[in-house]
Amino acid sequence: MATQHTKQIAIDDLIVGMYIVELDQPWLQSPFLFHRHRIGRQEEIARLKAYGVRRVTIDPARGLDLVETLPRPADGLLPSAPTLAPRSLQESTGGAKREQNNICHSPLSRPRGAPLPGLALVRAVHTEAITAVQSLFEGTKTGAPLNSAVAQEVVHSLLETVLSQHDVLAGLIHMRRFEANLYAHVINGCIFALMLGVMQDLDETVLACLGVGALLHDVGQVRLPRNLVRHPSLYTAQEQRLMQTHPHLGATLLSQELHMPEDACRIVAEHHERLDGSGYPQGLGGTALSPLSQIVAIADVYETMLGTRQGRPPLLPAQAIKELYQQGRAQQLDLSLVERMVRCLGIYPVGSLIELNTGERGIVIAINPGNALQPVVHILWDQAHQRYATPVTIDLAAPDADAPLRTIRDALDPTAEGYDLATYFAESNGS
């Protein structure tokens, strides 16, 4: 039921830019992963109607209001959202604009917007977050206390972007394949933790605490020798023991900050502990671990697998998802949380390069919550691996009747195949 801060409206009155908090249909039967969602494309409204939604509840404080006199946006155009990033981030990025999507027409698929709309804004938020956390971490090297206000501001920015553009964020991370960089790692880990926290339907206060803990989970590494943190190959036994002190070092740093939530300190202390007791530094397990720590542990493991790890090559997103699930089955990680993470990211996460049974190649640009094996794919290359003049966007779970039946044959390594996916999307989105 709508409260004084929200209002119920008819589905026909829903427009791009509104923030929905409730549907008149069960969320498990809806096309969205998250219970709270900013409408980013006209296509999303059509999908809600197709699922039988007739009335929705919106929060005007977090999106457009029914009484606003703004013209209805064109298909695929997302108006600027002031709550998407703190003012300092918006100003420093020059108020990054969301660009209008180019609509491609093809006889093989119905018209759709350009892939990953809003990529420029999401990239700006991500870059500013990395810069902010680098300054935050570097400050602790001089003995200065952690600035919890900066950490909270970064988390607020990332959470708002997760709630409105989680698919674009995931695509950015998966396509860029970040190098072993501490600051990018903690930002990406924080994003994945917030995604999983939202899937858990945690309230905003708990999400904020989760985000701060995830953002600072590796802050203890700034107190270790720099050559150890950037070690390109496997650690010796002595180096491994030294590295395993970083959770304790980080928790100690957080405990010195008066306004730091206790649960955030626990996340930092426990993010390398495992349910079966095989983790470190204390070998805790089972109910001794904070549920929030387990969320961050899953996000940390997944993000780490996407990058270079002590001389080991990064895993493809689909490979990392499989490995994450195996660790859940082995009871190292909470299997129920891992399964939610898989549902959130998909078997073939957004940003994955895939080859279809037709021989065509493309990039996953959206997942279907109810069908993890059949995402939405932006097909760029034909059977001979030549670039299509007009790319084709198809929903594998809802193919057009006159189109060939397509299924995913395999996930490919963009680097090995010679594709720079991030550059392509930057060009196609005008960013």
Q: pLDDT, tens digit, for every residue of 148-183?
A: 899 999 999 999 999 888 889 999 999 886 666 899
The pTM for the full model equals: 0.76
- Tokens read off for 178: 């970040």
Give the chain's residues under pLDDT 50.
1, 68-112, 431
Residue 31 has a pLDDT of 62
Residue count of the chain, please give it: 431
Through-space distance between the first and last CA atoms of the chain, rounded to whole angstroms: 40
Q: Where are the alpha helices (DSSP H) in 18-118?
A: 42-50, 87-92
Output the furthest CA–CA distance in the chain (Å, rounded).
66
CB atoms within 10 A of CB 386: 9
At residue 34's C-alpha, the angle toward residues 371 and 345, to 5°, is: 50
Residue 293 has a pLDDT of 98
Residue 102 has a pLDDT of 26
At residue 124's C-alpha, the angle toward residues 119 and 128, to 5°, is: 150
**Inter-residue long-range contacts of 237-245, CB under 8 Å, 24+ positions, other chains counted:** 244/272, 244/280, 244/281, 245/220, 245/281
Q: Where are the domains of the chain?
A: 1-66, 119-345, 353-428
Q: Which CATH architecture has domain 119-345?
A: Orthogonal Bundle (1.10)
Phi and psi based region of residue 377 (left: phi greater than 0; alpha: psi -120 to 50; beta: remaining): beta
